[in-house]
Amino acid sequence: MFEEFVRWSQQRMADCAARQAALVADSRSDEAAFMQIRSNVYGLFLAAGQGLRGDLTALRARLDSIPAAWEKSLAQAEAHGDETKAHIERIKLETAAAIRHFVTHLEEHNHD
């Protein structure tokens, strides 16, 4: 089951890299940087899962705890009117939510 998460994460990272390259080619470096952030989040949780020896339950706990700091950073950025920082935090939170959704799907599918 964890192997499926590894494949899925690696595919998301490859998709991000391809999209990032296309954005760079279109001289859209800001958007390309945002795509790199998304890829980094996939990589972060892939590495976390590997460090947890594929324990999806423990990974799910990380998916709940790590984004808490991003939520706090988002609130601070919004309070200070820092839209760029807020956008970065939203990207990280959206990506973590997509990962959480996939992990939940894997867990539910495994219990059927």
- At 47 the three-state DSSP class reads helix
Alpha-carbon dihedral of residues 11, 94, 39, 71, nearest 10 degrees? -150
Residue pLDDT, tens place only, 29-59: 999 999 999 999 999 999 999 999 999 889 9
Residues 56, 9 contacting (CB under 8 angstroms): no
Domain spans, the chain: 2-111
Q: What is the pLDDT of residue 108?
A: 84
Predicted TM-score (pTM) of this structure: 0.93
- CA distance to 64, 72, 77, 102, per residue, from 69 (Å): 10, 5, 12, 21
Which alpha helices (H) appear in the chain, and where do they start and end?
Answer: 2-25, 29-51, 56-79, 83-111
